Structure 1
Amino acid sequence: MTSQATGTTTAERRITFFQPDVFDGDRATLLDIIREVGGSAGQRFILGDRTGEFERTLRRSLGAEDVVACGSGTSALVLTLTAMGVGAGDEVVAPAFGCAPLAASVVHLGATPVFADIDPWTMVADPAEAERHITARTRVLMPAHMFSVMADMPAFVALAERHGLRLLEDSAVAQGAVLKGIPAGLWGEAGIYSFVQVKSFGMPGEGGVVVTRDAEIGRRVRMLRNHGQDGRRRFLHHVIGHNSRFDEIQAAFQLHRLPGLAGRLERRAAIADYYTERFEPLADAGVVPPPRGREGRCYYVYSLLATERDALREHLAAHGVDTHVYYPRPLPRQPAFAPYVRPGDRWPHAEEASRRILALPVYAHLTDAQVEHIADTVCDFVRRRRPVGRAAHPAPARGVSP
């Protein structure tokens, strides 16, 4: 099969896990933006008019009360927890399986992360497990949307209301995901997105936003990100703040890229649909795709659960396909967070996910030929170990501009 982009066979050209040419088509625009911002009379490189426009544009598109641009998705978590009043002696319930900032953002505030186990298939926080870890010291529930699926936010909303807790969504990887008509990030009191390069709306640098329906959270985060200043008067510091300010060059670049986001997400969704259709017949042979459908789906990463994960990864590598393991250890098994583990706590589903999870390339610039090669290689691995039936399959949707 021939690659549409290069004319070479997919086996001859390595398929990288992260998109290598993500900003190639925007290079001239980015250089123009750098010249424009650098040469402007105001010489405003952070928190200027472009950042404000970017925040307003996202706020309108999401239907949020406020959107506050920050230095990173991680700092967006820290600022939001701070705005919610989390501090020493408090507990925050977070999933045992996820990215380090889930726990580190809590520890930085002197609070304690409490790790709840996950759903064994979707690998997102299990509301029943989260409830089991609620104590008199619990202040916030912080579910995280993972690589293919949003957390069960209706259940978490009900859980937070039942126990009188704050609800913060770590939606860093879920921009564009929608559940029951509500965008990821707006189910709780606040949510966050990350714009690090490899995310679905990545940019050439660090950055993120807090999205919220609560004007007071927005006001406090806006002040906290800029050394505790409220923006009306410089060098008047109302609270102890942080330096988590957004770059004007990046704001202009994200405004330029935003109109194409829906098309890029649609291409990712089409690839994910195709993978799932190809891989569903492999479940009995130990390769399990995420649930099919698009409701509440995240397309930052497409993750399988594979009984022979390491052997499958080696097989894909031998056929020119790079993969990634998110994450090789659950958070409470990381040395940095082990001191916060409570005696007797166990996370069997998180442990199993760490042994079995394997992420495949799913970025919008993949050609149909590359997508088919990846799927064929996974199916070939299974056939070599256990013959399975192979249903006819369509090609992924074509014609979506990256």
Structure 2
Amino acid sequence: MISPFIPFLDLRAGNEVVRKELDRAWRDVLGHGRFTGGPEVEIFESEFAEYCDSAHCIGVGNGTDALELILAALGIGPGDEVIVPGNTFVATAEAICAAGAFPRFVDVRPTTLEIDPDAVEEAINPRTVAIIAVHLYGQMAEVDRLESIAARHGLVLLEDAAQAHGARFGGRRAGSIGRAAAFSFYPAKNLGALGDGGAVLTDDDEIASRVRQLANHGRARESHWVHDVSGRNSRLDTLQAAVLSVKLPKLDEQNHKRRVLMQHYREQLPRRCMPLAQHGLAESVHHLAVVQVRDRAAATHVMSVAGIGWGLHYPVPCYRQPAFAEFVDEKLPVTDRAAERILSLPLSPTMTVAQVDRVCQVLSRLRGRS
């Protein structure tokens, strides 16, 4: 008997759980016809700000826009340097380059693959203006130490929380730390829209006002026809906001399911598949189930043959991408070593423990092959 396929991420099943609510949201938006700037946008912004323990949420077009708008609102640009981990998704570095600033890549912790605060402090120089704490794979970076470093050197601390919806560190939510945070609502995220979407979270009234203005063509608050600055068009559209409001109340429950499944992976995986560690103060939301394996080619082969989906995040580190070669003057050994070994296993809130067992059983066939 052929075992059923286990998808890497089952978006269809996840959306089916809230299908009736999504249908109702679509009918509501279709009924009033305000497809941009409709009431659902402001409602979701308020809900997500409260969820993240933040004063302001500004819905924007996507997570990359969120990063770019934060940097623009802070006036970060040519001549400035922003510290980022070497293994982040390229959007973090793209945003810095779009601002005209210089991304300074640093190495990560070998056990968590989160940005290494010691490497951050060593990288600070007279041009450094900001640190972006990237919360990779669903676990928050060591924000307590990064806050201390930023304060000691007079730097701005920002969050790239695109993979950390609902995560906590020391009891504090992602999106509530530093001057501002960027979120993505790409469909594969823990809180995913039915298309692109993003948000900026901040407690800073001035940054919130500036981001909102820049995202709306630089339009003056007091006049629809006056544009005080040159901005851009980056809007979270009404339908996506409505979808996110449907999904937000279920986020904590779904994150809990991810934790249960990840714990089962930790208990059942063979020793040759080592899950990333979790910091003692971190409450991860496990956006991805990442392990390190010595022979990744063998692991992906046995999974593919068995009908099990898998992913790689990221086999070519951001700092090794040709697009950023001009900004790199040293190797990052931990990042490089991990890039050869990381493997993302299937993980969805709708996944079953039995499916996790099957993935682990298939990977157990790797014994003696690496």
User: Which TM-score applies when normalising by structure 1?
Assistant: 0.87
Match of 2:311 in 1: 324
Q: CA deviation at 1:131?
A: 1.6
Q: CA deviation at 1:378?
A: 2.1
> In structure 1, what is the Cα distance between the partners aligned to 2:63 and 2:255?
20
Specify which of 18, 38, 43 is matched with residue 48 of structure 1. Answer: 38
Does the 8 A contact of 2:106 with 2:120 survive in 1?
yes
Match of 2:31 in 1: 39
Q: CA deviation at 1:20?
A: 4.1
> In structure 2, what is the Cα distance between the partners aligned to 1:57 and 1:68?
11
Note the alpha carbon deviations across 1:250-309, whole angstroms, 9 max, x for none.
Answer: 111111122111111111110011111223x61xxx421122578331311010011111
Matched, 1:372 2:357: yes
Matched, 1:287 2:273: yes
Q: CA deviation at 1:188?
A: 1.4
Identical columns (%): 34
> In structure 2, what is the Cα distance between the partners aligned to 1:309 and 1:354?
10
Note the alpha carbon deviations across 1:106-144, whole angstroms, 9 max, x for none.
Answer: 011111111111111111111111122111111110121
Matched, 1:78 2:68: yes
Segments of 5+ residues of structure 2 without an aligned counterpart are none
CA 1:303–1:62 in structure 2 vs 1: closer, same or farther (change >3 Å)?
same
Q: CA deviation at 1:220?
A: 1.1
SS at match of 2:199: strand
The number of aligned residues is: 368
SS at match of 2:292: strand
Match of 1:298 in 2: 285
Match of 1:390 in 2: none
Does the 8 A contact of 2:81 with 2:129 survive in 1?
yes
> In structure 2, what is the Cα distance between the partners aligned to 1:174 and 1:82?
23
Q: CA deviation at 1:222?
A: 1.1
Matched, 1:90 2:75: no
Q: CA deviation at 1:230?
A: 4.3
Specify which of 344, 347, 356 is matched with residue 359 of structure 1. Answer: 344
> In structure 2, what is the Cα distance between the partners aligned to 1:92 and 1:136?
11
SS at match of 1:87: coil
> In structure 1, what is the Cα distance between the partners aligned to 2:220 and 2:170?
35
> In structure 2, what is the Cα distance between the partners aligned to 1:374 and 1:29?
32
> In structure 2, what is the Cα distance between the partners aligned to 1:155 and 1:35?
47
Q: Which amino acid aligns with 2:273?
A: V
Segments of 5+ residues of structure 1 without an aligned counterpart are 1-8, 387-402
Match of 1:214 in 2: 204
Q: Which amino acid aligns with 2:366?
A: F
> In structure 1, what is the Cα distance between the partners aligned to 2:193 and 2:254?
14
Match of 2:150 in 1: 160
Matched, 1:262 2:248: no
> In structure 2, what is the Cα distance between the partners aligned to 1:186 and 1:329?
30
Listed as ranges, the matches of 1:119-138 within 5 Å are: 119-138=109-128
Q: CA deviation at 1:317?
A: 1.4
Q: Which amino acid aligns with 2:52?
A: L
Match of 1:99 in 2: 89
Listed as ranges, the matches of 1:174-323 within 5 Å are: 174-279=164-269, 282=271, 286-291=272-277, 295-323=282-310
Q: CA deviation at 1:242?
A: 1.4
CA 1:36–1:232 in structure 2 vs 1: closer, same or farther (change >3 Å)?
farther
Q: CA deviation at 1:34?
A: 3.0
Match of 1:14 in 2: 5
Match of 1:23 in 2: 15
Does the 8 A contact of 1:323 with 1:358 survive in 2?
yes
Q: CA deviation at 1:200?
A: 0.4
Q: Which amino acid aligns with 1:123?
A: L
Note the alpha carbon deviations across 1:182-214, whole angstroms, 9 max, x for none.
Answer: 001222111122110000011110001111122
User: Which TM-score applies when normalising by structure 2?
Assistant: 0.95
> In structure 2, what is the Cα distance between the partners aligned to 1:333 and 1:368?
37
Does the 8 A contact of 1:194 with 1:208 survive in 2?
yes
> In structure 2, what is the Cα distance between the partners aligned to 1:324 and 1:242?
34
> In structure 2, what is the Cα distance between the partners aligned to 1:20 and 1:250?
16
CA RMSD in angstroms comes to 1.8
Does the 8 A contact of 1:203 with 1:250 survive in 2?
yes
Note the alpha carbon deviations across 1:46-97, whole angstroms, 9 max, x for none.
Answer: 1231110111111222221111111001100000111111111111111110
